[in-house]
Homo-oligomer: A and B are copies of this chain.
Amino acid sequence: MLEWLAMEFLGSHILSIDQFERTDIEKIFSTSDSLVPYAKRERITRVLQGAILSNMFFEPSTRTRISFGSAFNILGGEVRETTGIEATSLAKGESLYDTSRVLSGYSDIIVMRHHEAGSVNEFAEASRVPVINGGDGDNEHPSQALLDLYTIKKELESKNKSIDGLRIALIGDLKYGRAVHSLCKVLCLYQNVTINLISPKKLKLPSSIKKSFKESSVSFFETDDITKGISEVDIIYMTRIQEERFSSKSESGKYKGLMSLNQEIYTKNCEPNTIIMHPLPRDSRPDANELDPDLNQNPNLAIYRQTDNGLLIRMALFSLVLGVQNKIEESTSNVAWFSNK
């Protein structure tokens, strides 16, 4: 891909991982790198002082909601927040079009999560300010895919490897997990990637995505045996059974606990220092136990580095879309308070 085809971030909506080429992603990642001192609280910046984020979470979320909000605060901006759908005008029959037109008059940028696939795109079309998709049903969650890929890059770099040539195992609910779907799409932009797809037979990756693999240079194989798939990979990416996408709890319950990783399985099957990732939340109830707590002290468990990276990625997206990535240092100062981050 040629440099001049790179997307223009300034004022753009961030709706889908599909809108990025490899150079765009590299730009996001280098911006994230430059923001580390602010996320680590070594320096503060006020570059977005006076700017307002509307953080609209029509579907429940803690991690993503707070991560976007904190990212905006760290850059110096203010956050107005809405959670839940009952308390909103949508419940009085207002169209997404109206909600979007109105809200975009109250804020400088909007992050939106909604349970309906496609709703964020519809909202963005009507908006007068940039909109970032914070997850729309089982459709897209682009900042998650970016933070996953950024984590893969960082973890591999510490081993002198790169994403080109990556060997990764994707485990669990590959049918409904939107994080996995977006990650698969973005991996197609890289060279010589090998993906082991490990899932119950009924929860296989959709064939449309496997088709994308074939059109790119990704090689993959499928299995329902976790021990077969994790032996020769750099990264294990475990996922949660997406209960809320199944027709019933008894239906989703059939798959709970089928794919489970603990220290013993890890030691027996994996190469040394295989990295473990998870988009979180991980279901830690005994019947699910996707990643056993006995892995918590394993230094290769990267799940909290992953969420920390999420903060960086979201700061980078805000910076690029609002065009302040080169102005951040102009307004920095020392951190006055105690911090040992």
A: residues with CB less than 8 A from B are 10-11, 41, 44-52, 54, 60-63, 66-67, 69-70, 73-74, 76, 78-84, 86-95, 97-99, 101-103, 105-108, 128-129, 240, 243, 280-285, 288, 293, 296, 303-304, 307-308, 311, 321-324, 327, 331, 333, 335-341
Is the CB–CB distance between A89 and B52 below 8 Å? no
Taken together as a complex, chains A and B put the C-alpha atoms of A323 and B335 apart, in Å, by 11
User: Closest residue of chain B to A291, judged by CB?
Assistant: B98
Is the CB–CB distance between A94 and B281 below 8 Å? yes
Is the CB–CB distance between B79 and A80 below 8 Å? yes
Contact of A48 among B61, B284, B327, B336 (CB under 8 A): B336
User: Closest residue of chain B to A67, judged by CB?
Assistant: B106
Contact of A337 among B48, B86, B98 (CB under 8 A): B48
User: Closest residue of chain B to A287, judged by CB?
Assistant: B93
Q: Assess A337 versus B311: contact at CB under 8 Å? Given A69-B80, A70-B106, A281-B98.
A: no
Question: With a CB–CB cut-off of 8 A, which chain B residues contact A66?
Answer: 54, 80, 82, 103, 106-107
Question: With a CB–CB cut-off of 8 A, which chain B residues contact A74?
Answer: 50, 52
Q: Assess A336 versus B324: contact at CB under 8 Å? Given A94-B282, A98-B282, A281-B98.
A: yes
Is the CB–CB distance between A281 and B62 below 8 Å? no
> Besides the contacts A66-B82, A101-B304, A106-B311, what 10 more A-B pairs have beta carbons closer than 8 Å?
A52-B70, A60-B86, A67-B106, A81-B81, A92-B281, A93-B284, A93-B285, A95-B284, A322-B338, A323-B337
Question: With a CB–CB cut-off of 8 A, which chain B residues contact A101?
Answer: 304, 307
Question: With a CB–CB cut-off of 8 A, which chain B residues contact A46?
Answer: 49-50
The 8 closest A-B pairs by CB, nearest first: A44-B50, A94-B281, A323-B338, A93-B283, A322-B337, A89-B281, A60-B87, A95-B284
Question: With a CB–CB cut-off of 8 A, which chain B residues contact A94?
Answer: 280-284
- Give, as a whole number of angstroms, the nearest-CB distance from A163 to chain B: 23
Taken together as a complex, chains A and B put the C-alpha atoms of A312 and B329 apart, in Å, by 32
Q: Assess A336 versus B331: contact at CB under 8 Å? Given A62-B99, A66-B80, A89-B62.
A: yes
Question: With a CB–CB cut-off of 8 A, which chain B residues contact A83?
Answer: 87
From A54, A63, A90, A107, residue with most partner B Cβ within 10 Å: A63
Question: With a CB–CB cut-off of 8 A, which chain B residues contact A54?
Answer: 66
Question: With a CB–CB cut-off of 8 A, which chain B residues contact A296?
Answer: 97
Is the CB–CB distance between A87 and B84 below 8 Å? yes
User: Closest residue of chain B to A319, judged by CB?
Assistant: B337
User: Closest residue of chain B to A331, judged by CB?
Assistant: B336
Q: Assess A337 versus B308: contact at CB under 8 Å? Given A94-B283, A94-B284, A281-B94.
A: no
- Give, as a whole number of angstroms, the nearest-CB distance from A234 to chain B: 23
Taken together as a complex, chains A and B put the C-alpha atoms of A84 and B81 apart, in Å, by 14
User: Closest residue of chain B to A41, judged by CB?
Assistant: B108
Question: With a CB–CB cut-off of 8 A, which chain B residues contact A49?
Answer: 44, 46, 336
- Give, as a whole number of angstroms, the nearest-CB distance from A38 to chain B: 9
Taken together as a complex, chains A and B put the C-alpha atoms of A108 and B66 apart, in Å, by 13
Taken together as a complex, chains A and B put the C-alpha atoms of A317 and B87 apart, in Å, by 25
Taken together as a complex, chains A and B put the C-alpha atoms of A62 and B105 apart, in Å, by 13
From A83, A108, A129, A331, residue with most partner B Cβ within 10 Å: A108
